[in-house]
Structure 1
């Protein structure tokens, strides 16, 4: 939140959009679920018609919203979606279980990027964005947040 404010976004926009995004803008979970469905379909040799794919996509767009951002949450949502749709065997979720921890890192990273972009876009849209602060931040001329220690690349231990 501090970094987005330093990058020129208004404090009110950051304080509203970022927390709301972690409930309603879960891009990583939705992508995880879509890729998981494709993988399970291919791994179990279960063809999906176009109408089944579109129906699953619609359900996943809804079930990915409002969920907790806990590790493994997307896997639970995927299992619930498969259980309710009966389009793919639920046992296929077990194929993803072994790599879920690694995929959770990518899911979280995608969520952070998506929510940060949402803050930037809404700040600009609401005309509450300071372009000069953003330019200074991107060029490295901003002050570090209070309590943090700035380390130059030449001082960083390799």
Structure 2
């Protein structure tokens, strides 16, 4: 996970573009791109919420990570497996969840792109098709950012060698 970024780094504007577009298309209150680390899920981008991380033990987050492709829960308040989740029973009182898993190239869970709302709902087929597209954009942006960090590190190292040698 650390290769995908620092969990305590500030939110990055290119990822906010993805979450804003997803939120607009799906017409929801909260859009999140999350990444997993040991014991927590942190947000690479979050639109519509001040939260920046959640424990993986929270049932809705765990279910989103364990689902291999796509998960939609039309009414979280009627799902008995989620009745103890503080995101549902307390603030922000999430009543709708949809998310698509973002895997690593080795098919391990990297995180999710998810949409949340405070009222139950069902996405249209067109809205549902946006999540896989956004997931690919997220993965492409992440791979590009990792590549750029590597190139910047090599450039810094080359500069240091030239100046020191």
TM-score category (smaller protein): 0.3 to 0.5
Please say which structure displays the higher CA radius of gyration: 1
Structure 1 or 2: more helix by fraction: 1
Structure 1 or 2: more strand by fraction: 2
TM-score (norm 2): 0.35
RCO higher in structure (CA 8 A, sep ≥6): 1
